[in-house]
Structures are given as structure tokens and as C-alpha cells.
Structure 1
């Protein structure tokens, strides 16, 4: 029998005994109200004022903004009624705003940006933009707004609503949007220089990328909508970076160093003087990266500062971060020592000065410098990966201090003066706490919120965090949810929820353990709901995540079976009634487990599953599997069509009809293989939905998933 090292942290989420009868949680409420009605009390759109003395947050229903300073009672600054009086327009709510000065703010609603002085209670419409505008990038100091319409870029100012920046008629030329299918940490395509005098932008040429057909059934007859989808091993997009000068109306393109046409241009960052652009360039094989510097005005290549290589892959995800008090130095995040850490460089020469952080934990985000300017404040994990803390790191790399003390997932904002952290955290027994702490030593200054359990009037069970052992001794974090009336003498059916892929973590030391509320709702129907983060998932270091390289599904299944074996050893588990469900990579895992580990699960429900990695996109697929011609054995081994004859039990496959991430070919080709093998399988499609089913239809989806499991297990 396999031995397990198990650390169990169980917390009862029930209200105290003796209170009135509790209500049952409906599936509709569990799906639709987790982040509304059942979200613990929290700070609403909190942000620091520029002087760092206090912060603001919106009141209930986002109708009023309050100012908090020290231990004083909150002070009302302005409301939607004040804004309506100043602008002469209806302001439905105050969802977000930024500071222009101590008393003047800017905000956006409708189709415009506005500026408002809450001391004089005066304001005006500032910059308007067209209704079809997307990918907005606003530079508040200059009042310039860049945006896209279709595949071109436009500029809006106080004087002019629409000035063309690019004028491409070829639909394959896309400007101002995220490129590389949003891999490498890319989330946008428009980048203002610090002084607002230049606009850098990503551009991609998809002329050689294959069209992929999606069918739009909203019209009669239905219409064909082609998208560009570069599959593994096939032609990819060609990227470049443009720099637009609003003063001259001219655009130059960076003269990209290197002759590889389909290299990746990522992590675009500006130098502090708005003169240089820093760009991480990665080869198509994704095993080598160069950090290059370019002159913004001319596009001229200046130099390569340094290179990084790895036999598996190199994946930078954050731009250079210049020290606010020293424009000659920047910080760079890298996994070169096995964990994401910060390194300090000379900007001019690329000389490595020192590692700023170290240890078997991951830096997640830089918040800024402390008040001394000698230490950087950042968010980072702990070795378990379960907790997220704020850390204070001396820039010379000699000192590390954990500022937030309580175990859990912390989310912090640093005051502009570097003296204070506005810290909001939860853990498995704490719904939410908002507090102010010092960056000097982490000492508590003031507690603003200590949220009550929003589920106190409902029947919900226990959530346990488990630590199991992989075959190589690696710790694996897992979560088990039991009914509120759990009886260890009974035997319970199990739903295993799985994701298992890179860049994702399902189990955290946060409220509900990171679980979706439908899992609690199903536990009350008499299920155990189990989830395990296998090797390959996020926040445990490069080796933990990259072990899946060239063999997606192999190690992940081994680790999921560790969880299954643990469950089977529990006297209260009905091992003959186990189901597995997941979406996307989790759909791949669900289908893999049903076909390649037949008999373990009686039921599987796979949503949007990858079934053959040669159908998946270049950027993600080739990072983890290399190209099909480079790794034919790996692609063949994880092609699920090869295992359809091994299906035991019931399998339901689900897909959105216009999925542009995991295209429908994955499911349809697998179903074709089932038909050819004379194997029965169930299938359901959500018309008009892309990769995920959202809105009210998500209730239908979860009812479909859970009803299928119930019908087939019983």
C-alpha cells in the first residue's frame, strides 16, 4: 500500500449550533451569487491618494466615495449625485477613478472621460471616444486616449474624438491588440511612454496563418466567421512594434534585431525618460530569450543587455521595472534559479548587480519601493504555494522580511510614500480582513473590515486542505469538501474537479479554499468534492511546472491518481461511485483519465477539452510539447483518439459552438473516433458560446454537468 504524508486543516463553516434552521443553497445562487450576495464584505475600488496619507473606497452600491486617513472616521468626498450635478449627465455608479491632483480626479463612463474637482464640486467632459472603441489606453497627464476599432488604432484628445494612427485595409494586419494569443504575460497592445509623448504598440501580420471557420447562427442563414488560428507546427503570426509620435503624426517601427521571422516580441517596457524601449525577444522554439533595447524615436536597435536559455523553455512574463529613485537601474523577474525571483541590473550596460530575492518561493508582483528607497515591496508565495504574502526585500539582496503575518492569500496596495500597505486577506477560516500595516515592520496600524461569514444562514460543510505525496516525494496540495452532516460511518460518492495545467492553481489557503460555491452546494447533496493541484500547475517553481514538458498528461495523471488512491483508502469513500469533471486543460485531463485510466471513474464530464495537441495553438502548444515534427512520440501518446476503445463508464463531452481557444475540431474529431470504434458517448453543445459558458447559461451548464453525474452514478 502506498504511504501518504497527510496534513489536514479542517474548518467548519457552519453557524453556531442552536440558531434557527439554516437554508439550503440553490445551484442558481451558488453559480450566480458567489461574487455578489455571498462575497464577504470587502474594500470596494480602494486606492491611495497621491500624498499617501489616506485612501478612498466606494460605499455600498458604488454611489459614494469615502476618504480614510489614520484612525479618523471616514469622510464623504463625492457621490453620483455630485457628479451628475457637475456634468449634467446621469452617472450610474462610481466603479473606478484616478487622481490628477490632491482634489481633482478623472473617471470614465458612457463614451467619455471626465475630470472633477471634489473640493469645488466642478467638472467637465474631457475626452470623448466612439462607441465601437476597444482596448482603451488613457494617459491622464496629457489627456490622450489611444484605442482600437477593428484592427486599426485611433487617438482621441480633448479637441478631436478620432484621429487615425494606423490605416491598414488588409484584415490580416492587426494593430494595438494583444499578440501571441496573450501568452508570455501579454495582456494589451497599446503602451504610452511615461511622458505621454509616444505611443508604442504591438502589430501582427497574420497573412500566413490559416483561417479557422466558426459558424454564427444568429442570422438566417447562418454566417461563416473565419478567425486566424495558428496550430502547432504551422505558420504563425509575424510580430513587430510600432512607435507613434502624436506631435508629428508619424510612426516608426523598431528595427528588430535577429533574422527569425516568427520570433516572439514580448514584455514591452519603456525606459523612465521615454527615450528607449525594452523588449524580450524569444525564438520560436521558446528556449532562448534576449532582452534588447531600442531607440524609441528612430526604432534603431541599441544593444542586447543579456540572454537566458533553458533546454525546456524560457517564459518571461513581466517587463523591466525601473527603480523610481534611480533611472539607471531596473529589476527583472526570472525563473533562472528555479523560482521566479527579482534581479537588479544596470540599465546602460546590462550588468547584473545582484539577486534581490531568493528561496523556494515565487515573486508574483512588484508593488513599489518603501519610504527609504532602499527596499522593494512585492507580493510572493510561500514554499507550499498555498499562501500569498507581502515581502520587503533590500535592493542589495541582503535582507528579506515577510510583512504580512497571517497565513492566507493577501492582496496589498502600497501607499505612494512607501510607508503603508493596505492589506486585504482571507484564509480557509477567515472570510476577509482589510487592514493597514507598516512597511517598516508589518505592524498593524488599523483594521477596517473583519467580515462575517456570508454563508452563516446556509447549510454548508467543511473544507479540508490536504498535503499528499507524489511518486517522487513532491508535496501535492489538495482540497476535500464534505457535507455539513458528514457521517464517517457512511460511504459517499465523489466528484473530482480537475484542471491540472500550467499557469493555474485550484487549491489555495483562501476563503472556501479557492473552491467554486457549486462544490459546497453539491456536498450538501451528499457528495465529497475533491481537487488536487498536480505537478504542472502554478506557483511551485519551474521544475514543478515544467516537468510536463513534451509529455502533457503523463505526470498530471500520475498525480491525480495519488489523490484517487488517497480517497479509496478512506472508509467513508464509495470508490465504485467516483466522477471526474474539468474544463479546457481540465477537459483534457478528464478525458485522459476516462480513456487512459479506464475503470477508475464511472463518470466523466469534459468541457472544451483538448483532445489532440496538434490542433492547439502554436505559442502555448509548442512551449510545452515542442513542434509535432520534433516530438512525434509525445504528440501520439497524448492523442486521446488513440484510446477511445478503452472507454469504460459514461462520458459527456461539452463544447461552445464558437470556441476560439480550444476549437471545436478537438471534440468533433474525438467523437468521430468514438463512432468508428462503435463506442457510445454523450455530447452537448452551447450555441453561440466561446471557450467558456458565462451569464445565466452557466446555471444550465452546471445543472447539465451535475445532473449527468447524478444520473450515471446512481
Structure 2
């Protein structure tokens, strides 16, 4: 009997192995965004889920359905046919999908959408169009911002700002001046340029004067004769733009500007409103980015009313979120800060004025000055990543945080009075949440290494909800995938734990010797490893594992979600500490018996391109092959906001800039290095790579070079597939073969 059982087990194992081997290999068309089969292989989703007050709704192509928060049962609410009948009656083109609509008003049977250059409100109670405002006649409007409180839409055409057809800025064109668009190159959390007041009385907007900024001469080669299409690009240490904040009164059509003084070498960030619309709040930052002030202005006059909070740090202060008032108490608001070393929330009381302001010096070497009574709301060696919303009845703020793990995003309900945190939903994996109007429910979109996707409606009291979707993974079902694991190694400082992701080759044989590639980023505001599908491994990583490579990624010091000290240890010397940590990753690879330590490559993009090039030049005896995409070569060529935050200016930090100037190391190149760029990259401008090629020519070294004409900082669509074909060929030609 024992013998029969052993034969049965052997048969099952053999059958499983044959089954795995019979699965067809995946291609780059399967795993790269833009590939012909990519979207067919992503886990099923439920797009269009949203809230109409406390009613969950799901908009798809043909209609909108309500979703019962307790049972998940769906009921048709609106159909595309009836919406198109209403549009036809107004002489408008038909709509092809309802997936882009949303519900601005919790108590009204109305949906809002933009269509055919119009701002449209459809009343599904009366089955009629209740608002139809033309946004642009000859030119397509951009940056639309609809205000539910007054049903007006702000938008831009070119560099001008409009509200429902009325141009806010002067009719004459101001050379180099931009209205109503994001400023400061989208740093400091700035993603838009218009900000409606709560009741719709005012519109705050950015005015950015770039006339004094040097043009970077981008060239469009797709025209009959190449055309100059310059970007306004303020490089580190050079003259930057000037920003002012305007307040437009919708009723009077008059504009005042905040009287903030000279805008030279200053940043105006995180604009927000008081609930009564009487005040505008701005977090202002000096050019050195080491001194932030929360300033209040009078909305009607633009007069400065006072500085409520100040924060200084010898390295940098980086405000990224506007203040948020409590829905149940107009006298208190939440301020975000890293003043204790981690991104946390602080409750400020406008009724309790501290005079003189209370000075504090915190343990992480920074200092603060508080003019309002301030209470820390969250604390610990973890970060608040987002304020999802509020539950006014229970006096709770719903947050997303890394409290469970730096590799995860979990949801918590935080009692504002006691600070008690109640977890909402599963404790594993990564969660994205959308809160109902009352804050009693949320839509939870969850993924982990074990769960491809799970979508649920959850009560925010921590109790169990209803699961709407549990998706399987088409990649796991159809293909023989590699083994993926995560773990920690010690950083070069000998104490800090760094997370790594290791991918073994498909059909791994421990007796073989495999080439290895490190995929790297390493810079601020990026983290490459999370508890998500495949632990965040990209499709190319999986593909290279199928082609017989060991793939390693290490989130080095300097990267995101580990606290301020973890990030800012690279200050003024970008690349130094990060490279030391990546070399620790190499040591880990060399400790694996199946890795060929003579065939180690490296690849990264943007900051990762800088790291790739730097590693190839600094450790030429370690790395045999590298592919650097869109790399920073010389931080003097990078823009003011990001570059000066982490490096200061070239004038004040000449040693740091020289040490991070990869042209100085061009003669060190031994292995095969390819540089790949977009021909009109507006982020890491082509000058980086061109000057590096010149330095290599002068030094007698021979990198390879490839350009995607008219592409920007990243390749998209079919170009992205071609890019990864090209990268793969380079490693196949120069790393795989001894």
C-alpha cells in the first residue's frame, strides 16, 4: 500500500510539472502596458463605483446602477439611452458611455459630466438636461473645475482662465504668464491651479509669470523643417518663475490678489479655504525650502491676516497637503507635518491663540512656532498617507496609513478627541478607499500578493461588510510564473533594514548559474516594493525571469514611506548613500549559489537612470551591463524645485554637485551602458544625456544611445512595448552571454 501511495504522489507531481510546463510563455505584449493583450491579463475590476450620498452606485457604459451596501444587489438607476434622448433634445452629440459621470449632490437626482465642450447636468428625476454650459467654442478647454455649490465651471484655454465663458485674466495676452494651471512644476502636492470656495462665492487661482525664466530649446523633428518648441525650465541655481494667488468674485467679476509681498524665490503651496469663505490659507515656503509658514489672508481684500504656524529644518521642509477643517467644528483644522520625523496629523484650534507664539524644538533637529493651540492627532514610526474623509456623527477622521507595514496601505478610523484608531477592512495588503458622504461606509479596493483584487463595501466602524468582487489573476491561471519573495537586508549603515524583492527564473534550477539584473530607483517619493499583486514587480521583471534572469529590487535609503531620516540622509549628495545600499543588494545576490556574480546588470528610469549610470561608473568591476532611461546626469541641469530641495543650489553646494556630476566619471566606464531618452523630455531634458555622450567621447569610453523622437519622459502605448523589447535585446546581447 505504501508503495502504491508513493507512486500516486509521484504521478501527481509529474502531472503538475507537465501541466506547468505545458502553459504557454507570456510575451511583452502580455505584460507591458500598451501591449496587445495586456488588459486582458489584468485582474477583473469594477470601474465606475462611486457614492451618491450614502448610496453606492456603479456607472458602466450602458447605465448606472445602485448597489445595496448590505447585500451588494444592483438596481438600474439611469440608462445611457435616456441620457442620449435628453442630449438629442438639446442638439448635442450622443454620449458613448456613462463611466465618466459623477454625483455632486447627495440629495438631488442629478449627475454631472462634461461632453462635447459642454458642462452638463442631467436630472434623472425629470429625465431632462438641467444645465448645459458651453465651455469653449473654437478651442478645446483644459483643466476643467466644476463647482457643485454654484454650478459654474472654471477652465483654461491656452494660458487664459475662464469661468463659464467669462475670461478672468486681462484680455490682452501677457507674454510668459499662465493663469489657472498648476505651478512650481507640480511639486509640493500641487496638481491643479483653481480652488473654489465652499459656497462657490470665490475662485482662488494661480497666476504664474515665467517671462524671466530661461527657455529650454526643445525641438520637434516631426515637422517638414524641425520646429523650435521651447519649455520654460528653471534649472537649479537659476532664475525661477514668480507666482501670485488671485481671488475672483463670481458675483462682481472682480479679482484681488493676495498681498503676500514680493513673490521672488518663494513657493505658494496648498491653497485652502475657511468654511465661511472669509479666509484663504496658503503654506508659503522659501526658496531654500527649509522654512514653511501657514499664512491666513482675507478673501475679500487679499490682506495678510497673520502667520499661524512656522516650521524650519536644516535640510528641508516639504508641505504636500492643504489644511482640512473638521466638518463638525469650523474652528479646528488638521495640518500635516513631518516635524517628529514621520508624516502625521496635527489638530489646530483657531479659537485658542498663543501670544507670543509657542516655540518648540523637536527631536529630529527641526523647530516649530505655533500661534494656535496644537494637538498631535496621530503618532508613531509610520506615516499617514491620505485623509480619506470624515465621519461627523462619530467625530472621526478616516485615514490611510503605513501603520501595519511600510509595504502596505491600510485604512483606519481615528477618533479626533481620543486618538483611538479602529482598523477598517483586512489588515494585509494595500487598500484604496472611497468614503460615503456621511463617512459611515467606504468602497475598499484591496490587493495583496495573495489576492489579485477584492472590492468591498465596508462600514467604517470596523465591522464586516459585503464583498462585491473577488477577482482571480489571469496571469497565474494562464502562465507558469516565477517564484517571487520579499525580505530584508541591512543597509550600508549596518543598522537600517531595507526591503528587497527577489524573483527567481521560471522553471528555476538551483544547480544552474543565472545572470542577475537589479531594477533600481532609489530616490525620494518612490517605493518599488509593496504588498500588492506580484509585490509590485513590473511586467518586464516577470518577463526577464522567464528569459532566465534573477531579478532583484532594493528600496534603498532615500526612498519613500520610511520616515524623514530614512529619506533625507542623502541630502546634498544624491546617489552616494543610495549606491552603497544597492551594493549591499549585490552582496546579497553574490551570496546566492545560483547567481553568476560575473553577470550582474542594472536598469532604472529617471532617478533610477541616474542611479544606473552612477553604479556603472562608480562600481565598474561589479556591473557588467546597464540600461539607463531618462537619466539625470548633472543635477545643475535639473529643475529648481526638486533639485534644490535635495541638493541645495550649485552655488551653495559645489562639492555635492561635483560629486553627483556623472560627466566627471565618464572615463570609468568598462561595461556596456545604454542611455535611452525621449527626444523632447521636459523632465530630464536631453542636455543631460548629450553632455554625457560628449564627456564619454572626450574620455575615450563608448556608451550606446537610443532616442524616442517626440516622446517625453516616459514612453506610452506601442512605444512602451518597443522600449522593453529594446531593453531586453540589450541585456540578451551583452549580459546573458558570457
* Shared fold (TM-score, shorter chain, > 0.5): yes
In structure 2, C-alpha distance between the alignment counterparts of 1:96 and 1:276, rounded to whole Å: 33
SS at match of 2:399: strand
In structure 1, C-alpha distance between the alignment counterparts of 2:340 and 2:585, rounded to whole Å: 29
Relative to 1, partners in 2 of residues 1:626 and 1:419: Cα closer, same or farther, differing over 3 Å?
same
Residue 192 of structure 1: aligned partner: 196
Summarize the alignment of residues 357-506 of structure 1 with structure 2, pairs less than 5 Å apart: 357-382=378-403, 384-440=405-461, 442-455=462-475, 456-472=477-493, 473-506=495-528
In structure 2, C-alpha distance between the alignment counterparts of 1:191 and 1:516, rounded to whole Å: 36
1:155 and 2:159 equivalent? no
Which one is further off, 577-586 or 452-461? Answer: 452-461
Residue 214 of structure 2: aligned partner: 210
Preserved CA contact (<8 Å) 1:165 1:249: no
In structure 1, C-alpha distance between the alignment counterparts of 2:244 and 2:74, rounded to whole Å: 49
1:177 and 2:181 equivalent? yes
TM-superposed CA distance for 1:482, in Å, is 2.0
Residue 73 of structure 1: aligned partner: 73
TM-superposed CA distance for 1:238, in Å, is 1.0
Instruction: Indicate which of 332, 337, 349 corresponds to 1:334.
Output: 337
Preserved CA contact (<8 Å) 2:42 2:473: no
1:584 and 2:588 equivalent? no
TM-superposed CA distance for 1:72, in Å, is 5.1
Residue 46 of structure 2: aligned partner: 43
The Cα offsets for residues 239-278 of structure 1, whole Å up to 9 and x where unpaired, read as 1101111221211100005x56221110111111111110
Relative to 1, partners in 2 of residues 1:446 and 1:314: Cα closer, same or farther, differing over 3 Å?
same
1:223 and 2:218 equivalent? no
The Cα offsets for residues 80-132 of structure 1, whole Å up to 9 and x where unpaired, read as 22321221232111232222344221112332222223344333562221242
The Cα offsets for residues 553-596 of structure 1, whole Å up to 9 and x where unpaired, read as 00100111111110110011111111111111010000000001
Residue 361 of structure 2: aligned partner: none
SS at match of 1:47: strand
Instruction: Indicate which of 557, 563, 573 corresponds to 2:579.
Output: 557
TM-superposed CA distance for 1:226, in Å, is 1.7
Preserved CA contact (<8 Å) 1:610 1:662: yes
Residue 121 of structure 2: aligned partner: 115
In structure 1, C-alpha distance between the alignment counterparts of 2:170 and 2:526, rounded to whole Å: 36
In structure 1, C-alpha distance between the alignment counterparts of 2:146 and 2:584, rounded to whole Å: 49
Relative to 1, partners in 2 of residues 1:46 and 1:166: Cα closer, same or farther, differing over 3 Å?
farther
Residue 87 of structure 1: aligned partner: 87
Residue 58 of structure 1: aligned partner: 59
Residue 256 of structure 1: aligned partner: 260
Residue 728 of structure 2: aligned partner: 706
TM-superposed CA distance for 1:499, in Å, is 0.9
TM-superposed CA distance for 1:56, in Å, is 1.1
> TM-score, normalized by length of structure 2?
0.91
Unaligned stretches of 5+ residues in structure 2:
1-14, 354-370
Residue 27 of structure 2: aligned partner: 26
SS at match of 1:196: coil
The Cα offsets for residues 606-644 of structure 1, whole Å up to 9 and x where unpaired, read as 111000101111111110000111111111111101111
Preserved CA contact (<8 Å) 2:66 2:76: yes
Preserved CA contact (<8 Å) 1:360 1:383: no
Which one is further off, 374-383 or 330-339? Answer: 374-383
In structure 2, C-alpha distance between the alignment counterparts of 1:484 and 1:556, rounded to whole Å: 29
Residue 7 of structure 1: aligned partner: none
TM-superposed CA distance for 1:29, in Å, is 2.2
Preserved CA contact (<8 Å) 1:215 1:658: yes
Instruction: Indicate which of 218, 231, 236 corresponds to 1:232.
Output: 236
TM-superposed CA distance for 1:222, in Å, is 1.0
The Cα offsets for residues 419-443 of structure 1, whole Å up to 9 and x where unpaired, read as 1222111111110111122222x22
The Cα offsets for residues 182-202 of structure 1, whole Å up to 9 and x where unpaired, read as 111111111111111111111
Which one is further off, 575-584 or 342-351? Answer: 342-351
In structure 1, C-alpha distance between the alignment counterparts of 2:303 and 2:480, rounded to whole Å: 64
Relative to 1, partners in 2 of residues 1:18 and 1:677: Cα closer, same or farther, differing over 3 Å?
closer
Summarize the alignment of residues 601-640 of structure 1 with structure 2, pairs less than 5 Å apart: 601-640=623-662
Residue 12 of structure 1: aligned partner: none
Summarize the alignment of residues 261-280 of structure 1 with structure 2, pairs less than 5 Å apart: 261-280=264-283
TM-superposed CA distance for 1:646, in Å, is 0.9
TM-superposed CA distance for 1:236, in Å, is 0.8
TM-superposed CA distance for 1:372, in Å, is 2.8
Relative to 1, partners in 2 of residues 1:483 and 1:82: Cα closer, same or farther, differing over 3 Å?
farther
TM-superposed CA distance for 1:148, in Å, is 1.0
In structure 2, C-alpha distance between the alignment counterparts of 1:98 and 1:515, rounded to whole Å: 33
Query: Cα RMSD between the aligned structures?
Result: 1.8
Preserved CA contact (<8 Å) 1:103 1:117: yes
Which one is further off, 586-595 or 248-257? Answer: 248-257
Preserved CA contact (<8 Å) 2:117 2:140: no
In structure 1, C-alpha distance between the alignment counterparts of 2:672 and 2:727, rounded to whole Å: 12
SS at match of 1:518: helix
TM-superposed CA distance for 1:325, in Å, is 0.9
Which one is further off, 118-127 or 690-699? Answer: 118-127
In structure 1, C-alpha distance between the alignment counterparts of 2:418 and 2:525, rounded to whole Å: 27
TM-superposed CA distance for 1:382, in Å, is 2.9
Which one is further off, 136-145 or 634-643? Answer: 136-145
Unaligned stretches of 5+ residues in structure 1:
1-14
Preserved CA contact (<8 Å) 1:371 1:419: no
Preserved CA contact (<8 Å) 1:87 1:124: no
Instruction: Indicate which of 80, 104, 109 corresponds to 1:103.
Output: 109
Residue 313 of structure 2: aligned partner: 310
Preserved CA contact (<8 Å) 2:182 2:206: yes
SS at match of 2:427: coil
Relative to 1, partners in 2 of residues 1:632 and 1:168: Cα closer, same or farther, differing over 3 Å?
farther
Relative to 1, partners in 2 of residues 1:313 and 1:98: Cα closer, same or farther, differing over 3 Å?
same
In structure 1, C-alpha distance between the alignment counterparts of 2:568 and 2:713, rounded to whole Å: 25
In structure 2, C-alpha distance between the alignment counterparts of 1:471 and 1:704, rounded to whole Å: 33
Preserved CA contact (<8 Å) 2:625 2:731: yes
Relative to 1, partners in 2 of residues 1:585 and 1:203: Cα closer, same or farther, differing over 3 Å?
same
The Cα offsets for residues 493-525 of structure 1, whole Å up to 9 and x where unpaired, read as 112111111011111000111121121122111
Relative to 1, partners in 2 of residues 1:124 and 1:483: Cα closer, same or farther, differing over 3 Å?
farther
Preserved CA contact (<8 Å) 1:381 1:539: yes
TM-superposed CA distance for 1:19, in Å, is 5.3
In structure 2, C-alpha distance between the alignment counterparts of 1:616 and 1:352, rounded to whole Å: 40
TM-superposed CA distance for 1:352, in Å, is 2.9
Instruction: Indicate which of 135, 144, 159 corresponds to 2:143.
Output: 135
